Amino acid sequence: MKKRYQVVIIGGGPVGVALAVELGQRGIACALIERRREPQRIPKGQNLTQRSVEHFYLWGVADALRAARILPPSYPMSGIVAYRDLNNEYWSAPPLREIVNPYYFQENERLPQYQAEYVLRTRLTQFENVQAWFGWTAECISQDAAGVEVAIAEDGGPGRELLQVDYVVGCDGAHSIVREQSGIVRGGADFEQLMVLALFRSPELHDKLKRFPPRSTYRVIHPDLNGYWQFFGRVDVGESWFFHSPVPTNTTRDNYDFHALLQKTAGFSFACHFDYVDFWDLRIAVAETYQAGRVFIAGDAAHSHPPYGAYGLNNGLDDVVNLGWKLAATLNGWGGEALLASYSKERRPIFKETAEDFIEAGIRRDREFLRRYSPERDPVEFARAWQEHTNASAPNVLTYEPHYEGSPIVCGPPGGVSSARGSHTFKARAGHHLPPQLLSSGRNVFAELGSEFTLLAFDGEDATAATFARAAQALHLPLNIVRDSYDQGRRGYEAKLILVRPDRYIAWAGDAPPADTASLLAKSLARDRNGQRDKQLVRPRE
Ligand SMILES: Cc1cc2nc3c(=O)[nH]c(=O)nc-3n(C[C@H](O)[C@H](O)[C@H](O)COP(=O)(O)OP(=O)(O)OC[C@H]3O[C@@H](n4cnc5c(N)ncnc54)[C@H](O)[C@@H]3O)c2cc1C
């Protein structure tokens, strides 16, 4: 007999498990299909942004995430960047993501991706409405107007099942079969460069890097390497490391001296023991759309790229937080197909621009710097340019502020365009992340947000709150209203009324009630002025 779910998530890497938790919290009946029984113990995806840690807070596991950190508490998360090798006189320790901590409710964090996956997998066990099929592979997805069917097979066993669902989300990584089978094409840039990823242990490397202040990563830019990085990352303090670097196209595990490569990058000799060596192609790929009918893609299935700047996992987590509430709203009867369509409209431009303006532009900037300046040609000019070049990372962190100003479901500024580039401020702006603030109770506003929409009403009239509540009720939209004085840090919002979406983005902000509250709420759900929905693919549960 076919098994029936509302949502099937294919791929239970960090992004798929995160979506299962998001939907689990929202009471959606879903299945998670993951071929691996245990997370892959590769210490990638280490650098979690403040926004990602906010998600863990709202999934109820921020403390568990911090406890799963391997580096000692408060060990610096940023890195060293050096010219040519780590023995060079030209190096710097620029500040990184920590400089935007005040604009988020949670500080950024650093831990291997598999540690975060264990935290999420543990949380997942608490939802009776989520069934995890670890050790199963999705083989075939087919959809028609009535729903989607997913054929799954037990790995190494006889089990075969056919799942019948309303929606499928492919979180099945860069080689996604969900993307392929639903006919979604990818564009992007192939740098035609093979990269090695190695895990090794070396207490000696740890000792020899003591000439630098304590840092988590060590990045080398070398004039021969076209702007591509050589990168040592700590897994712990004292012994374990990961390393990635360009290697010649025909490199295999057996025909190359990786120990010599590590020592050349370090600029000194050291003993090491390899635990793992693998390869990947340096390329950026972004799907043309994140949706085909009832099928969605998220995480690396939708966008893959070199790990330059730590955008991958963080963007994947933002994808599922954006999609999760829209799927649940639709299945619970107050969303709709137009709301679901806003997922691709909001998320895709962000990643496309992240790829072009941050990742590719960063490679080009390094390449141009290495081409133009050389300490051998002109040491004085080089020293000045090196300072300037390495100081450029701080402005990049400050301007990386993904927002949906151009989204059809937020009341952004006239002519607003969604972008990965923005600015950090405490002002409440429609289409942007809600900055944190303390309420007069001493609690942070984030601790008071509901799981659905929230209206923050500062010094608001009873009548205004009542109008919002009535309009929300008419749309069956669950609305939490938080009232407080317009005082202290809350004045920093520069708005007395703020409508916050379930993904903690601001749908609308103003000082006075909107002229037509019902239309405002309807727009936030992609409904028309009368609150009407587009044709429903799914009948809400009674
Ligand atoms: C060296 C390195 C360092 C990185 N550092 C960072 C960083 O600091 N910060 C950051 O944000 N990102 C980083 N990234 C990127 C990050 O690791 C990826 O973006 C992240 O793994 C994407 O997660 P995902 O769940 O979308 O895909 P994946 O991790 O690829 O997971 C996909 C899952 O789907 C499963 N699967 C695939 N097909 C099927 C199927 N048919 N049926 C069932 N299961 C299936 C796979 O087994 C896998 O578990 C780094 C990447 C690398 C290589």
Three-state SS letters, 142-206: EEECCEEEEEEEECCCCCEEEEEEEEEEECCCCCCHHHHHCCCCEEEEEEEEEEEEEEEECHHHH
**pLDDT at position 541:** 39
pLDDT at 539 over 70: no
% of the chain exceeding 70 in pLDDT:
97
pLDDT at 407 over 70: yes
* CB atoms inside a 10 Å sphere around CB 253: 12
What is the mean predicted confidence (pLDDT) over 387-401? 87
Residue 116, ligand 1, Cβ within 6 A:
no
pLDDT at 535 over 80: no
The pLDDT-based confidence of 306 (bands split at 50, 70, 90) is confident
pLDDT at 534 over 70: no
pLDDT in tens, 123-134: 999 999 999 999
**pLDDT at position 74:** 85
Residue 324: closest CA among 9, 108, 89: 9
pLDDT at 538 over 70: no
**pLDDT at position 542:** 33
Residue 197, ligand 1, Cβ within 6 A:
yes
Distance CA 329, CA 319 (A): 16
Residue 15, ligand 1, Cβ within 6 A:
yes
Sign of the dihedral through C-alpha 36, 41, 42, 44:
positive
Tell the residue nearest (CA) to atom 28 of ligand 1: 173
The pLDDT-based confidence of 529 (bands split at 50, 70, 90) is low
Q: 184 C-alpha vs ligand 1 centroid, how far in Å?
A: 19
**pLDDT at position 75:** 93
What is the mean predicted confidence (pLDDT) over 460-464? 89
Atom of ligand 1 nearest to the CA of 315: 11
Q: 485 C-alpha vs ligand 1 centroid, how far in Å?
A: 44
- Give how far the C-alpha of residue 452 lies from the chain's centroid of Cα atoms, to the nearest Å: 20
Mean predicted lDDT score pLDDT of the chain: 94
**pLDDT at position 531:** 65
Distance CA 312, CA 222 (A): 24
What is the mean predicted confidence (pLDDT) over 232-242? 96
Encoding tokens for residue 471?
């309009």
Encoding tokens for residue 484?
């407080």
Q: 39 C-alpha vs ligand 1 centroid, how far in Å?
A: 10
* CB atoms inside a 10 Å sphere around CB 206: 17
Residue 111, ligand 1, Cβ within 6 A:
no
CB 64 within 8 A of CB 117: no
Q: 250 C-alpha vs ligand 1 centroid, how far in Å?
A: 25
Q: 12 C-alpha vs ligand 1 centroid, how far in Å?
A: 9
CB 499 within 8 A of CB 508: yes
Q: 139 C-alpha vs ligand 1 centroid, how far in Å?
A: 19
Q: 13 C-alpha vs ligand 1 centroid, how far in Å?
A: 6
pLDDT in tens, 135-151: 999 999 999 988 999 99
pLDDT in tens, 244-297: 999 999 999 999 999 999 999 999 999 999 999 999 999 999 999 999 999 999
pLDDT in tens, 60-101: 999 999 999 999 988 999 999 999 999 999 999 988 888 999
Atom of ligand 1 nearest to the CA of 33: 43
% of the chain exceeding 90 in pLDDT:
88
Number of residues that this document lists for the chain: 542
**pLDDT at position 397:** 87
pLDDT at 339 over 70: yes
Out of 160, 300, 320, 354, give the residue to mutate to test ligand 1, the one with the largest number of ligand atoms within 8 Å of its CB.
Answer: 300
Domains and CATH numbers, the chain: 3-73+106-187+286-348 (3.50.50.60), 189-283 (3.30.9.10), 425-524 (3.40.30.120)
Residue 45, ligand 1, Cβ within 6 A:
yes
**pLDDT at position 439:** 98
The pLDDT-based confidence of 395 (bands split at 50, 70, 90) is confident
Out of 199, 313, 351, give the residue to mutate to test ligand 1, the one with the largest number of ligand atoms within 8 Å of its CB.
Answer: 313
**pLDDT at position 537:** 43
Residue 309, ligand 1, Cβ within 6 A:
no
Atom of ligand 1 nearest to the CA of 47: 8
Atom of ligand 1 nearest to the CA of 174: 30
Q: 44 C-alpha vs ligand 1 centroid, how far in Å?
A: 9
Tell the residue nearest (CA) to atom 27 of ligand 1: 173
**pLDDT at position 293:** 96
